[in-house]
Amino acid sequence: NPAAITEEPSPEEATELEEVLEAALTNLKLPIHREMVELRLEGLDVPEIAAKIGRAERSVRRVMKQFHDDLENRLRAFDAK
């Protein structure tokens, strides 16, 4: 339903979505991984993140992929409620 995609979440749903995001962030194995994702959420791209934290772009992409997959699974479970 395309309308469902554009609807604003209720305050309760927004809180639950924040919890889903926080759980996915908490699931990251290392603090540097969390920093990578937080920098991405702030708008930095992969090359900028890699340069800022001194890691290979490939490493940053791998962490982003793991985070994306985990978050996607958590959101599917949220939507299934």
Cα–Cα distance measured from residue 25 to residue 21, given in angstroms and rounded to the nearest whole number = 6
CATH of domain 11-79: 1.10.10.10
Mean pLDDT of the chain: 89
pLDDT at 3 over 60: no
22-38 pLDDT tens trace: 999 999 989 999 999 99
pLDDT of residue 13: 86
